[in-house]
């Protein structure tokens, strides 16, 4: 359980970073582009004794990991923009209610749900999708463009996080039967993201003629360390609970949604519209219905 709780903490810290970047004049795209280099360095430092990093391009899973790393960059850019335009609470909700995607993949494709879903579990999945629509709805007072950006960015976060989490669950099941292999395999994914990040940064500097500032590199450190730890700890949590994404993701997502909402309200004074609050509550109800058996077993 300690792995799961720690992953929740570091996941919320990522959103806090995004929320603070504009205040300090940080170029979010530059920080995201560089943060996976920091992730890679963090992983190398945490490498257990007796293990080493090697890039074996003859293995199919290596290419799978590299491609997944590109998905990380896309997801992170969407998450950063959504946090700044729609807020921590809505972005966190869109991110974490995306659990319906890996849960369905676990149940219907990978067949590792860890339990038989009943009518309440399936009702939770339906309500989760409805909650995304209600929680991310924004009626802008500043024009259609602003309204769309406040809506499609959280939706993009929902889709990309769901897809990448489902891919991680498959990777963990197919290629990491031994927890000791977690960091080496994870580092290949991070390397893919780092390569994509450098390409993205180079394109941004050349195409947009943007100025390089060292404070963006510092921001990449505050972003990269918790970023690596958040998804590394998810791997460990999945392994601890028998690779049951149907159990791990609901508990993880409830924790992140509640904690991030508290942080947003207390430190950033974020306020939700009535329809967003309804979506927020509905999301918590949906998450509870999806995982009520596991939650009740904890007490």
- The domain locations on the chain are 2-297
Arithmetic mean of pLDDT over the chain: 84
Report how far apart, in Å, the C-alpha atoms of 188 and of each of 87, 133, 220, 224, 295 are. 31, 35, 19, 15, 34
What would the pLDDT profile of 229-262 be if each residue is shown by its tens digit? 997 888 788 778 776 666 776 778 788 999 999 9
Ranking 38-47, 137-146, 184-193, 285-294 by mean pLDDT, the lowest is 137-146
Q: Is the pLDDT of residue 111 over 70?
A: no
Report which of 235, 241, 256, 216 is spatially closest to residue 297, judged by C-alpha positions: 241
109 vs 128 pLDDT, higher one: 128
Angle at 93 between CA 91 and CA 99, to 5 degrees: 120
Tell how far CA 270 is from the center of its chain.
21
pLDDT at 144: 40
- Coil/strand/helix, residue 222: helix
120 vs 113 pLDDT, higher one: 120
Kindly compute the dihedral angle of the four CA atoms of residues 41, 46, 51, 54, in this order, to the nearest 10 degrees.
-20
Give the list of residues 6+ apart from residue 185 with CB closer than 8 angstroms, or none.
61, 65, 171, 175, 176
Phi, psi of 177, rounded to the nearest 5 degrees: -65, -25
Q: Which two structure tokens, joined as six digits, stand for 244?
A: 């049951």
Q: Is the pLDDT of residue 46 over 90?
A: no
pTM given for the model: 0.84
For the chain, what percent of residues have pLDDT higher than 70?
Answer: 88
What single string gives the DSSP state of each residue in 134-155? HHH----SS-HHHHHHHHHHHH
pLDDT at 14: 94
Q: Which single residue is written with the structure tokens 């490498």?
A: 47
Q: 144-175 and 88-96 are packed helices; what angle lies between their axes, rounded to 10 degrees? A: 40
Q: How many whole angstroms separate alpha carbon 238 and alpha carbon 3? A: 9
Looking at the chain, list the stretches that DSSP marks H as alpha helix, in order from N- to C-terminal side.
Answer: 2-20, 28-45, 60-86, 88-96, 100-105, 119-136, 144-175, 182-207, 214-240, 245-267, 274-297
What would the pLDDT profile of 56-72 be if each residue is shown by its tens digit? 888 777 888 899 989 99
Q: Hey, how many other C-beta atoms are within 10 angstroms of the C-beta on 52?
A: 7
Report which of 293, 297, 295, 290 is spatially closest to residue 121, judged by C-alpha positions: 290
pLDDT at 179: 61
* CB burial string 211-221: b at 16+ within 10 A, e below: eeeeebeebbe
Phi, psi of 198, rounded to the nearest 5 degrees: -65, -40
Q: How many whole angstroms separate alpha carbon 175 and alpha carbon 178? A: 8
What would the pLDDT profile of 172-218 be if each residue is shown by its tens digit? 777 765 666 667 777 888 899 999 999 999 988 888 777 889 999 99
Q: Which two structure tokens, joined as six digits, stand for 94?
A: 């869109």
What would the pLDDT profile of 119-142 be if each residue is shown by its tens digit? 998 899 899 889 888 887 766 554
């Amino acid at each position: 359980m300690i792995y799961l709780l720690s992953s929740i903490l570091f996941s919320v810290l990522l959103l806090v970073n995004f929320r603070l970047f504009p205040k300090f004049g940080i170029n979010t795209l530059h920080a995201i582009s560089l943060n996976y280099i920091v992730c890679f360095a963090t992983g190398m430092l945490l490498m257990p004794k007796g293990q080493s990093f090697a890039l074996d391009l003859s293995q199919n899973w290596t290419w799978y990991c590299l491609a997944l790393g590109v998905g990380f960059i896309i997801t992170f850019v969407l998450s950063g923009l959504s946090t700044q335009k729609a807020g921590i609470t809505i972005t966190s909700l869109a991110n974490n209610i995306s659990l319906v995607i890996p849960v369905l993949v676990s149940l219907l494709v990978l067949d590792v749900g860890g339990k038989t879903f009943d009518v309440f579990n399936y009702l939770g999945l339906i309500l989760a999708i409805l909650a995304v629509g209600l929680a991310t709805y924004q009626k802008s007072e500043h024009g259609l463009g602003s309204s769309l950006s406040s809506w499609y960015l959280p939706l993009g976060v929902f889709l990309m996080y769901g897809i990448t989490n489902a891919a991680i669950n498959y990777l963990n099941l197919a290629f990491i039967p031994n927890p000791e292999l977690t960091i080496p395999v994870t580092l290949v994914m991070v390397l893919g993201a780092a390569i994509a990040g450098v390409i993205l940064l180079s394109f941004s500097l050349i195409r947009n003629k943007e100025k390089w500032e060292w404070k963006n590199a510092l921001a990449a450190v505050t972003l990269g360390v918790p970023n690596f730890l958040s998804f590394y700890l998810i791997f460990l949590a999945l392994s601890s609970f028998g690779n049951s994404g149907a159990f791990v993701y609901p508990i993880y997502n409830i924790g992140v949604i509640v904690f991030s909402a508290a942080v947003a309200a207390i430190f950033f004074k974020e306020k939700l519209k009535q329809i967003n609050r309804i979506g927020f509550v509905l999301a918590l109800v949906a998450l509870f219905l999806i995982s009520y058996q596991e939650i009740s077993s904890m007490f």
